[in-house]
Amino acid sequence: MIVFLLRRLLGMAVVLLVMSFVVYGLIGLMPGDPIDLMVLSNPGMTAADADRLRALHGLDQPLIARYWRWLIAALNGDFGFSRVYARPVLDIVGPALWQTTKLVALTLAISSILAIALGIRSAIRPGGKFDTLISFVSFAGISIPSFWLALILILAFAVGLGWLPASGMGRPGEGGFWDSARYLILPVATLVIANLGGVTRYARSSMIETLRMDFIRTARAKGAREPRVVLRHAFPNALTSVITVIGVNFGTLFSGALITETMFAQRGLGKTIYDAILGNDFNLALVALLFATFATLIGNLLADIAYAWLDPRISVT
Amino acid sequence: MRSNRLESEPGPSRLASPLALEVDGLSVDFSSHEGNKRVVDGVSYAIARGQTLGVVGESGCGKSMTALALLGLVPKQGCVTGRISVSGQGLSEIAIDEWPEIRGKRIAMVFQEPMTALNPAMRIGDQIAEVLHLHEGLSWKEARERAVEELRLVGIPSPAERANAYPHQLSGGMRQRVVIAMALACRPDVLIADEPTTALDVTIQAQILELMQRLQDEIGMAVQFISHNLAVVSEIADDVIVMYAGQIVERASADELFSNPLHPYTQGLIATLPKIENRQDELPVIPGMVPRLDGTLKGCRFAGRCVKADSECHALIPVLRSISPGHDVACHKVRP
Ligand SMILES: Nc1ncnc2c1ncn2[C@@H]1O[C@H](COP(=O)(O)OP(=O)(O)O)[C@@H](O)[C@H]1O
Ligand code: SF4
Ligand SMILES: [Mg+2]
């Protein structure tokens, strides 16, 4: 287990390293650097001033050398300053990561539990009334684009009924828990609805498949009653493959969260990355992207660990 | 099972032993848009306590379906008719939600595939304990302790440690022992073994047969031993029924059937027995195909493949009748 974890963590480090280099390079190749922006916004600055500033910030050096300096600093915990916010990048990325993590974790928990419950119930009588209804609803959920769904939800619950805020995330330190939770409801609902259909259909088919297996017949032949057969025998076996799909979906869910939180004007990683790229906020965009990647990798790792833990046939060594 | 002691006993005392299982006119029908298909057709037999009935026939002749009917486990689309009773208690009338009380307690089953018959995500000790917990009202802890005893009974070495193993950590033979332990944990009246050794290699197969015989001597349950392999059945069974296309075509004691097979189908089965014993996974082959079972067929179901078939065979359905004491055959060409 420890060897497995070490190997996976090493792999993650390599991915992040390559990723940071590629993103650094891409941003470095983009036309215009921060000094050009300063020149634009300050007509009094001469070309000589600009060159002096470039030399000061090391921007006249080759890309590799600049990347190397950035990397050494980053490994020492110094991720640099955000140009737009004029604050350390971590001060901005930290809360944004927390915001996105809340959104993703809530969505994941709610949609997994719902999907598994609905999937099991559908699988008990495939083709029955419940199954037909759920199949239809899942299909609808999969087909509706999430930005459209977000708009509908805003129109219905924020504009129409006025129950929930349309966007934003409340001011920290103000109002109680419920006050800040209210802002999460619509984004989470959007993501859950968008995510639920796929996982439900998967949970259903994996339950149906499991219920056809020989050991289910053995369980019945033992005298186990149906609820026990379904929950104690079929469910744990079906769960392993559902967990895999949830793990595989994690990346999609994460990027979906980035889009959804932008729709709802929540300052999560998605909106941070988006604003940073538009504002040419070099450091911030890079670090936020790296943290988003890191979070996705951690999610996949957790799914793999859960999978190995649930299925005794998988040994992680 | 056969033992010298039983065979040397006179007939009447054997007849006097109480019947553990009685099956009377058992049929299983599947109806679909293509019409009705009767896969088990009016099967009747009985097994006394401590006795073993062998059921043989090519694959697809309805052996497993007969067994599943005894446990109320025929797939939903199937319709079961006929009478089944266990130690005198009729099962045909019981409600669906009473079946779980019978299964695993009065009638238990060992399946063909030890590799897939056990829950891969459950420790084997727990799988055995579950039966005891369900039927004997034992607490989980007591049930686990009994499970270890049951593992010891079926000859699993260091049972206390093995109880914590998952099925994939055991060999096929060991798994089949676990399945047997699970089936016998509640000391059922009837054990149905559906091709219990077919998936195992010859050495292991012999060990499992020996184990089943020993356990039958200890527990005294009736055994219905299903196999497509007549050689295996002749080793273990007291009496044998031969099934063809859902019907019983011949019934006799194992010795009689083997030394004096009368039905052309049984003769064919014996003729196609592999000479080398270790090729038991190869199915015996009699040329020709099993007819459709939709009820349109007139005459003998075996007529299309039978060398002795004549116009009578194609026109009239042969019924199972006694040819000599204890030997019944369903064939026009076999007369008392
Ligand atoms: N669900 C089902 N619907 C219709 N026919 C079935 C079904 N299951 C099995 N059968 C048929 O029942 C017959 C008997 O099968 P089975 O009892 O498994 O044979 P055996 O165990 O002797 O090999 C086969 O011809 C098979 O095609
Ligand atoms: S009744 Fe005729 S066809 Fe059928 S087994 Fe006997 S001889 Fe063959
Ligand atoms: Mg079979």
Q: What is the DSSP string of chain A?
A: -HHHHHHHHHHHHHHHHHHHHHHHHHHHHSS--HHHHHHHH-TT--HHHHHHHHHHTTTTS-HHHHHHHHHHHHHTT---B-TTT-SBHHHHHHHHHHHHHHHHHHHHHHHHHHHHHHHHHHHHSTTSHHHHHHHHHHHHHHHS-HHHHHHHHIIIIIIIS--S-SS----TTSS-HHHHHHHHHHHHHHHHHHHHHHHHHHHHHHHHHHHTSHHHHHHHHTT--HHHIIIIIIHHHHHHHHHHHHHHHHHHHHHHHHHHHHHTT--SHHHHHHHHHHTT-HHHHHHHHHHHHHHHHHHHHHHHHHHHHH-TT----
For strands B327-329 and B247-253, give the pairing: antiparallel
CA distances from B244 to A274, B248, B309 (A): 73, 6, 16
The DSSP secondary-structure symbol of B318 reads -
Q: How far from the centroid of its chain's Cα atoms is residue B69's Cα?
A: 11
Question: Which of B322, B307, B314 has its CA nearest to residue B291?
Answer: B314
| d(C-alpha B233, C-alpha B254), whole Å | 8
Cross-chain residue pair A215–B71, CB shorter than 8 Å: no
For position B177, what pLDDT does the model report? 94
Q: Residue A222 is nearest to which of B104, B120, B168, comparing CB atoms?
A: B104
Q: pTM for the complete prediction?
A: 0.81
Q: How far is the CA of B52 from the centre of ligand 2 (A)?
A: 28
Which amino acid, B290?
A: V
More confident residue, B191 or A259: B191
For position B145, what pLDDT does the model report? 95
For strands B52-56 and B239-244, give the pairing: parallel
At B16, the pLDDT band (50, 70, 90 cuts) reads: very low
Please check whether residue B169 is in contact with residue B178, taking contact to mean a CB–CB distance below 8 angstroms.
Answer: no
Q: How far is the CA of A154 from the centre of ligand 1 (A)?
A: 56
The average confidence (pLDDT) of chain B is 88
More confident residue, B50 or B229: B50
pLDDT digits (tens, 9 = 90+) for B312-328: 999 999 999 999 999 99
Contacts of A133 (CB under 8 A, 6+ apart): none
More confident residue, B246 or A247: B246
Residues 79-98 of B with CB under 8 A from A: 97
More confident residue, B93 or A169: B93
Ligand in closest contact with the CA of B39: 1
For position B17, what pLDDT does the model report? 58
For position B249, what pLDDT does the model report? 96
Q: Residue B121 is nearest to which of A220, A225, A237, comparing CB atoms?
A: A237
Q: How far from the centroid of its chain's Cα atoms is residue B270's Cα?
A: 19
| d(C-alpha B18, C-alpha B86), whole Å | 10
Instruction: Please state the rounded mean pLDDT for residues B98-107.
Output: 92
For position B321, what pLDDT does the model report? 93
Q: Per mean pLDDT, which range of A159-173, B23-37, B151-165 is the poorest?
A: A159-173
For position A59, what pLDDT does the model report? 67
Q: Residue A224 is nearest to which of B97, B134, B166, comparing CB atoms?
A: B134
| Tokens standing for residue A35 | 């000094």
Cβ of B261 closer than 6 Å to ligand 1, yes or no, is no
pLDDT tens for each residue of chain A, 317 residues long: 788 888 888 988 898 888 888 888 887 776 666 666 666 667 676 777 777 776 766 666 777 888 888 888 888 877 777 777 778 888 888 888 888 888 888 898 999 999 999 999 999 988 889 999 988 888 888 888 877 888 888 778 877 777 777 766 665 555 566 666 777 888 888 888 888 888 899 999 999 999 999 999 999 999 999 999 999 999 999 988 888 888 877 777 887 888 888 888 778 888 888 888 888 777 888 888 888 888 888 888 888 888 777 777 776 55
Scanning every residue of chain A, which has its alpha carbon at the shortest distance from the alpha carbon of B179? Answer: A218
More confident residue, A183 or B125: B125
Annotate B36-56 with b (16+ C-beta within 10 A) or e (fewer): ebbbbbbbebebbbbbbbbbb
The DSSP secondary-structure symbol of B292 reads P
**Burial bucket for residue A277 (CB in 10 Å: 0-12, 13-18, 19+):** middle
Cβ of B63 closer than 6 Å to ligand 1, yes or no, is yes
**Burial bucket for residue B306 (CB in 10 Å: 0-12, 13-18, 19+):** buried
For position A176, what pLDDT does the model report? 63
Cross-chain residue pair A312–B134, CB shorter than 8 Å: no
**Residues in A touching B168 (Cβ below 8 Å):** 312-313
For position B6, what pLDDT does the model report? 41
Please check whether residue B50 is in contact with residue B239, taking contact to mean a CB–CB distance below 8 angstroms.
Answer: no
For position B14, what pLDDT does the model report? 43
ipTM: 0.87
| Tokens standing for residue B248 | 């019983």
**Residues in B touching A237 (Cβ below 8 Å):** 119-121
Domains of chain A: 2-89 (no CATH), 90-310 (1.10.3720.10)
More confident residue, B85 or A266: B85
Instruction: Please state the rounded mean pLDDT for residues B188-209.
Output: 90
| d(C-alpha B232, C-alpha B258), whole Å | 12
Find which of B101, B119, B191 to mutate to test the A interface (most A CBs within 10 Å of its CB): B119
Mutate to test the pocket of ligand 1, among B32, B33, B39 (most ligand atoms within 8 A of CB): B39
Distance from CA of A203 to the nearest CA of B (A): 17
Residue B181 has pLDDT above 90, yes or no: yes
pLDDT digits (tens, 9 = 90+) for B5-15: 444 444 444 44
Contacts of A29 (CB under 8 A, 6+ apart): A63
